[in-house]
């Protein structure tokens, strides 16, 4: 009970820090790990001087850079990493349009890291395009593997009457999503622990997911997709989500595919399911080449490229 109270107080302090950053006009666009690294190793970037340096670029800083109140808020939130006389934030804050989201620090090495990055912006565009084009009712929606809560936030903000559920297997992701929901002042989002859809009942008008799709030696939850080339979780989401769609309901899956000899192995595996006349579907390659540095990792010897793709399936 005492531990729960301490956690609630820390989360409240983190929420207040987010509100303060909003009020200060804080803006940061999250980049790839490689771009983050290249910016941070430039001469003169050894220590943070601004809020963007501290909470975006995630650089070490002299505590005197912040006000006494800001330092106290970071300590109450439990996000201070001590590096001798310097501090470093254990979280980052990034913007998605007018939204401000808290997510994991750089580098995202921990097993419970909460991802946010360029994939998040592409995922957001897929959801926003669908919501603009959608003419049918949207009363119940779910974001599988919500991470920082991007999908749930975008849907809940665009459809204020809808009940939106943010699901994740990672307790830290659920904590940060709850903070992001509160920061966005949304009352129609519930945050629940679940392995894909195992923890929820009912049917949905919209299911969105941006699952991990890499082979990761440490099998970190935010990154490791499992299977031969990282496709296992994406396939599992398709398998579990389609039966849970209400009539007229849609699955929007944003994922990455390791392409081998010009072939798309993920599409080859899902096509057999999608020939069923119940499903109207389309598949689009959104970016032909993402995370090229991954090709140097074990297991990728035969992979030509990793593509970002979108699968949209609607129940007739």
pLDDT tens track for 80-95: 999 999 999 999 999 9
CA distance 197 to 237: 8
Judge whether 20 lies within some domain: yes
Answer yes or no: do 134 and 276 share one domain: yes
pLDDT at 286 over 90: yes
| One-character DSSP codes across 262-315 | TB-HHHHHHHHHHTSTTEEEEEEEEES---GGGGGSTT-TT--EEEEEEEEEEE
Answer yes or no: do 144 and 54 share one domain: no
Count how many domains the chain has: 2
Answer yes or no: do 144 and 266 share one domain: yes
Q: Which H or E run includes 53?
A: helix 51-55
Judge whether 104 lies within some domain: no
Judge whether 47 lies within some domain: yes
> Taking a C-beta distance cutoff of 8 angstroms, is the pair 94, 51 a contact?
no
Answer yes or no: do 154 and 207 share one domain: yes
- Give the CATH number for residue 129: 3.40.50.150
Judge whether 234 lies within some domain: yes
The predicted pLDDT at position 87 comes to: 98
> Taking a C-beta distance cutoff of 8 angstroms, is the pair 206, 131 a contact?
no
pLDDT at 3 over 70: no
Q: Which H or E run includes 182?
A: helix 171-183
Domain-terminating residue out of 74, 91, 108:
91
Joined tokens for residue 158: 């665009």
Tell me the pLDDT of the chain averaged across its residues. Answer: 95
Per the listing, tokens 């849609």 go with: 250
Answer yes or no: do 73 and 135 share one domain: no
Segment 86-122, tens digit of pLDDT = 999 999 999 999 999 999 999 998 889 999 999 999 9
Answer yes or no: do 215 and 77 share one domain: no
- Cα 167 to chain center, whole Å? 11
Averaged pLDDT for residues 145-153:
98
Model confidence at 145, pLDDT cuts 50, 70, 90, reads very high
Range of the domain at 183: 118-315
The predicted pLDDT at position 247 comes to: 97
pLDDT at 44 over 90: yes
Judge whether 74 lies within some domain: yes
Judge whether 106 lies within some domain: no
Answer yes or no: do 199 and 257 share one domain: yes
Answer yes or no: do 138 and 237 share one domain: yes
Domain-terminating residue out of 45, 74, 91:
91
Domain-terminating residue out of 56, 91, 126:
91
Averaged pLDDT for residues 139-164:
98
Answer yes or no: do 57 and 189 share one domain: no
Answer yes or no: do 280 and 168 share one domain: yes
The predicted pLDDT at position 203 comes to: 97
The predicted pLDDT at position 224 comes to: 86
Judge whether 97 lies within some domain: no
Answer yes or no: do 148 and 265 share one domain: yes
Segment 171-230, tens digit of pLDDT = 999 999 999 999 999 999 999 999 999 989 999 999 999 999 998 877 777 788 899 899
Segment 223-282, tens digit of pLDDT = 888 998 999 999 999 999 999 999 999 999 999 999 999 999 999 999 999 999 999 999
Judge whether 96 lies within some domain: no
Answer yes or no: do 135 and 58 share one domain: no
* % helix, strand, coil for the chain, step of 5: 35, 25, 40
**234-243 as b/e: b if 16+ CB within 10 A:** bbbbbebbbe
State pTM to two decimals.
Answer: 0.95
> Taking a C-beta distance cutoff of 8 angstroms, is the pair 315, 278 a contact?
yes
The predicted pLDDT at position 225 comes to: 87
Model confidence at 2, pLDDT cuts 50, 70, 90, reads low
């Amino acid at each position: 009970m005492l531990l729960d109270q301490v956690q609630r107080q820390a989360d409240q302090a983190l929420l207040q820090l987010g509100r303060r950053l909003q009020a200060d006009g804080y803006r940061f666009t999250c980049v790839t790990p490689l771009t983050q690294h290249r910016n941070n190793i430039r001469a003169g970037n050894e220590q943070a001087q601004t809020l963007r340096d501290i909470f975006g670029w995630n650089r070490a800083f002299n505590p005197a850079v912040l006000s006494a109140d800001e330092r106290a808020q970071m300590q109450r939130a439990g996000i201070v990493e001590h590096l001798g006389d310097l501090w470093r934030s254990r979280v980052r804050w990034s913007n998605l349009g007018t939204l401000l989201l808290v997510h994991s620090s750089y580098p995202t090495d921990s097993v419970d890291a909460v991802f946010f990055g360029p994939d998040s912006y592409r995922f957001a565009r897929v959801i926003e395009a669908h919501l603009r084009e959608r003419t049918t009712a949207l009363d119940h929606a779910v974001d599988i593997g919500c991470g920082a809560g991007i999908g749930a936030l975008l849907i809940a903000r665009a459809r204020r009457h809808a009940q939106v559920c943010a699901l994740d297997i990672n307790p830290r992701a659920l904590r940060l999503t709850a903070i992001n929901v509160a920061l966005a002042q949304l009352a129609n989002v519930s945050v629940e622990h679940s392995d894909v859809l195992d923890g929820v009942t009912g049917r949905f008008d919209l299911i969105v997911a941006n699952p991990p799709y890499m082979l990761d030696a440490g099998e970190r939850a935010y990154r490791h997709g499992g299977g031969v080339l990282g496709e296992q979780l994406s396939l599992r989401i398709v398998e579990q989500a389609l039966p849970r769609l209400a009539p007229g309901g849609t699955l929007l899956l944003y994922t990455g595919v390791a392409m081998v000899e010009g072939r798309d192995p993920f599409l080859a595996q899902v096509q057999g399911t999608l020939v069923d006349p119940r499903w109207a579907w389309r598949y689009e390659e959104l970016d032909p080449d993402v995370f090229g540095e991954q090709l140097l990792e074990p297991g990728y010897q035969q992979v030509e490229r990793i593509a970002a793709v979108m699968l949209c399936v609607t129940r007739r």
